[in-house]
Structure formats: C-alpha cells, structure tokens
Structure 1
C-alpha cells in the first residue's frame, strides 16, 4: 500500500471515530463541530461522569457502613397539601404542592407529588452544575430516583425525581432556595 492510501485510510478511520464520539457526547458539551471541540467536549463529559460515579460510590459506601435507620413517624416535609387534582375518574387522589425560585442565573421549580419531589432547573450550561445540585440533594437527605438532562444550544434543563428522606424537614420553598444557591457557588463578579 502506498503512503497516500495508508494516510487516507487513517483519516477515514479518525473521522468515523470522531462521529461516534460526537454522537455519544451530549450536544451542550460540544461548542463547535471541529475535532478539538469534539475531543475537548468528550473529555469534559467523561470527567463529569467520573465525578457522578465517585459521588454514587461514596454514597453506596456510606449506606453499607451505617446501620439503616428505623423510619420515624415525623412528617416528611412540612407543608399543607393543595386540593386534589380534579379528575373524577381518578380513584387515587394525588396531592401536590409546588414552589418556584427564579433568578437571572437559573429557574428552579420544586413540586411535591406523593412521597416524591419533582425538581426542575433551567439555566445556561454551567460545567459541573449537576454535581453541585446532587451534592445539595444528598446533604438535604434526598434520594435521587431519576435524572434527565435535556439541552438546546447553551441552555440545559435538569429534571430530577427525588424521594423524600425520613430526616428531611424542609419546605418546598426552602428546597428550591437551596438548589438555587448551588448556582451561585464559585461565581465571581
């Protein structure tokens, strides 16, 4: 094989690998379509995934080391539920309470539904922000059941479904405020 054919084959393989790497990396990590941006975005995404993995492993270790607490009869969150949803065909009545905390940096919405909290944040993409939110939720004794990340251009929506912990004594307003404060960590003016 000639040198030109070998080089052409190498470039073709490199372009195929870059296409796969770009398809596996969320769009908001890749600012442009050039090779350096794709690789840099993938590196940033992998680092954030490693942080999430370390956080989850630490949580798993803490759970295995500490004895499981006996459930207490205390209320899960201090709130007065709103009237039931108006669906006459729904035999299982669901009560909800919500709170919003908006700022120029991020909009935070927390809504209680049964024993779960639906938490949504909408902001410009801030590297490492999801880790900060997870740390706040863990500190406040919430268990994350599901996380969905949606992005469009430089805007990101984090949607959490979290289980209310037995030790939690927060109102939804306080929860929304605590998550809102995580967006101001490490910001300098």
Structure 2
C-alpha cells in the first residue's frame, strides 16, 4: 500500500470517528463543526458526565452509611469588595473557599473563585426548582452569569456561575444551606400533591 493510500484511509477513519463523537455529544457542547471544536465539546461533555457519576456514587455511599447534614469548613463571608481583591494572580481563577451541603433531596457544593461563586447542585428533577434557585440568588444580591443543566433519567445537575453583588453579606455555608432549603421545600410540596 502506498503512503498516500494509508494517509487517505487514516483521514477517512478520523472523520468517521469525529462524526460518531459529534452524534453522541449534545449539540450545545459543540459550537462549530471543525475538529478542534468537536473534540473540545466532547471533552467538556465527558467531564460533566464524570461529575454526575461522582455525585451519584457519593449519594450511593451516603445511603449505605448515614447522611451528614453539612460538612464542616471555615466560614467565608461573601462580599464583592473582599472577593475582588482575592483574585489578583494575573486573572487566574483561584478557589479560596468551598463548602458542601448534602441531604437525601439534593447535594449542594459552593466554591468561591475571585468575585464569582460556582454552585453545583445534584438532585431529583423538581418542576420549577431552577426558578426558585435564581430567585434566591437575586434576593441575596448575586447575579447569575452562566447556567448549565445536565440531566439523566430523574437526576439533574445544575451548575451556576454567579457574581457576588455589592450588597452581598452571606457566608458560603449560609448560601449552601439556603439553596438546600429551596430543594427541601420543593420536595415537600411535590410529596404532598
């Protein structure tokens, strides 16, 4: 076989594999049709699936042991002035604090990164829940910058990037607990119907 034929077969095989990857990946992960965008989108999708798997495994472990209401961590008060001064390492995203709030209804993880907060929530699908979370953020002087939702069967993963507002004076633990409470109240409403 000549070198040209081998190279042509290799390129055809690569294009076939890229087509399969593109069909297996939700369309919103792939912005353009070029090879780099397809591979980058697949990487992001796989990372998100890994997070869902980790969360489901931790939920399974908690059910087999005993659930803890919250995990202890130092209190970090979120306010715009303090957090904006924390992120002066050449604009690198530095995680300076995080906390978790887990229950049988939802697992909430909150991390502060500069003047933003990353919130990840894994729970069962509850109609109207996202609106309650966004309303809570607005009430606490946060601005939602980015939202990503992934779901599998009856489990949903919310990932929110929120900016800390000027009037915000809530700790990471309080934020995680309040997000957790929106799920608890929604879960109670669903079970009573």
Using structure 1 for the length normalisation, give the TM-score: 0.52
> Quick one: distance in 2 between partners of 1:78 and 1:166?
10
RMSD, aligned CA: 3.1
Superposed structure 1 runs of 4+ greater than 3 Å apart:
90-93
**3-state DSSP of counterpart to 1:131:** helix
**Matched positions, count:** 111
| Counterpart for residue 125 of structure 2 | 125
User: Gaps (5+ residues) in structure 1?
Assistant: 1-22, 25-73, 85-89
Structure 1 residue 95: deviation in Å?
4.2
Distance change >3 Å, CA 177–CA 152, structure 1 → 2: same
Cross-structure match for 1:151: 151
Q: Does 2:76 correspond to 1:76? A: no
1:79-109 deviations in whole A, cap 9, x for unaligned? 9xx9x9xxxxx86562420010000000000
Alignment of structure 1 residues 173-184 onto 2, 5 Å: 173-184=173-184
In the alignment, structure 1 residue 109 sits paired with structure 2 residue 113: no
Deviation string 1:31-56 (CA, Å, 9 cap, x unpaired) is: xxxxxxxxxxxxxxxxxxxxxxxxxx
Alpha-carbon distance change, 127 to 138 in structure 1, aligned in 2, over 3 angstroms: same
Distance 1:78 1:99 in 2: 18
Call closer, same or farther: CA 1:131–1:115 in 2, change over 3 Å: same
Aligned to 2:98: 98
* Structure number with larger C-alpha Rg: 1
State the Cα distance separating 1:164 from its structure 2 match.
0.2
Given that 2:79 and 2:164 are in contact with CA atoms closer than 8 Å, whether structure 1 keeps it comes out as no
* In structure 2, C-alpha distance between the alignment counterparts of 1:92 and 1:146, rounded to whole Å: 18
Q: Which structure shows the higher helix fraction? A: 2
Instruction: Check the 8 A contact 1:119/1:159 in 2, yes or no.
Output: yes
1:183 counterpart SS class:
helix
Please state how far the C-alpha of 1:76 moved relative to its aligned partner: 2.8
Shift of 1:168: 0.4
**Take 2:143 and 2:169, find their aligned partners in 1: how far apart are those partners?**
14
| SS of alignment partner, residue 179 of structure 2 | helix
Q: For structure 2, which runs of at least 5 residues remain unmatched after alignment?
A: 1-25, 28-77
Query: Residue 171 of structure 1 aligns with which residue?
Result: 171
